[in-house]
Amino acid sequence: MEDPSRLDIQHRIWLLSLEGLIPPEIETEVSRHMEQTKGGAILDVGCGSAIWSAQMAEKFPSAQVVAVDITEPSQRSFPSNFSFKSHNLANGLPSEFEAGFDIIHCRAVLQHVPDPQILVDSMAKCLKPGGFLFLVDVEVDSTFDENRKRLEPFIYDPALSVETNLENSRGLSWTSGWLHMLGLSTRSSKYKAPPSMIQQSESLNELMAKVCWFPIGWEDKALEHGRELGELSAEVVEGLFKLSRDSFKKVEGVPSEIKDALIERGRQEFRERNAYLSGKNEVIVIVEMGGKNQISFWIAEERRVT
């Protein structure tokens, strides 16, 4: 189980970046829908510490809020309209959830289930007509510099010797390379970018995109909460560096010297250079609409400090 305090920090980052529990671009529409349902039901899929679902229960006190994960959260008190169900998401959501929820939220979960498409399709089936799906995911690939230009990751070349690889004569980014390998070690082999999974799901269609940038360890004065975002993101990244050594053991075909260099040189570069977290280019928030179901789809692609 992940550290609840780290999950809460990540929640604060998302809260600042997306400007609330619900993106302001659609908050009025969501609130109107919840008022019309005279209560409604909200589902938090892969809830972790359940901080999002707890806050949504407070925001919508007439709604029934259900949080789902394997392990029950225990380090906070919950409103009376909150409940928890233990469930393994590998095969989707329980059948009794179908067509049962006005809002479904799933954050940073898809990459870690065996077949993400199964979970996306299952969440779509669990929406009531006119309901909303909020899907947030972080694509781990590379980082961006202060000008938001992609920093090419160092990737081990088995055709070269270990020593030649370590010379990194092209000056590729060690932090981007570290992030790339972190993705290889934690991401499902069946994972696809959320737009692809949306296209494969019969009831979901892209409607809106929103870009968010996460400065890591430095203040982006162009952002309203640039300093806090930088400090919190740096704390999360430092924690990931500590955990990555064990994660990298899952990656085969890469010498231990290369893995160690990615961690050590990647951390050093991260501390010395202003950059953004990123998966492909940016964090994208997509609101989906399909058939009778109105879907909010968030693609969280990290902006990384390299």
pLDDT in tens, 176-194: 999 999 999 999 999 987 7
Supply angle C-alpha 262, 267, 269, rounded to 5. 95
More confident residue, 111 or 304: 111
Segments forming the whole domain that contains residue 118:
4-301
CATH number at residue 99: 3.40.50.150
Q: Which two tokens stand for residue 112?
A: 């870690």
Q: How many domains does the chain have?
A: 1
CA-to-CA dists, residue 150 to 146, 253, 260, 269, angstroms? 10, 26, 23, 15
DSSP 35: H
| 306 in any annotated domain | no
Q: What's residue 212's pLDDT? A: 74
Instruction: Report the chain's mean pLDDT, rounded to a whole number.
Output: 85
Q: Is residue 244 part of a domain?
A: yes
Phi, psi (deg, nearest 5) at residue 233 = -65, -40
Residue 296 inside a domain? The answer is yes
Give residue for tokens 């934690």: 186
Mean pLDDT of 214-233: 91
CA distance 207 to 107: 19
- Predicted local distance difference test score (pLDDT) of residue 177: 96
Residue 81 lies in a domain: yes
Instruction: Report whether pLDDT(70) > 70.
Output: yes
What is the signed CA dihedral for 212, 187, 257, 150, rounded to 10 degrees?
-30
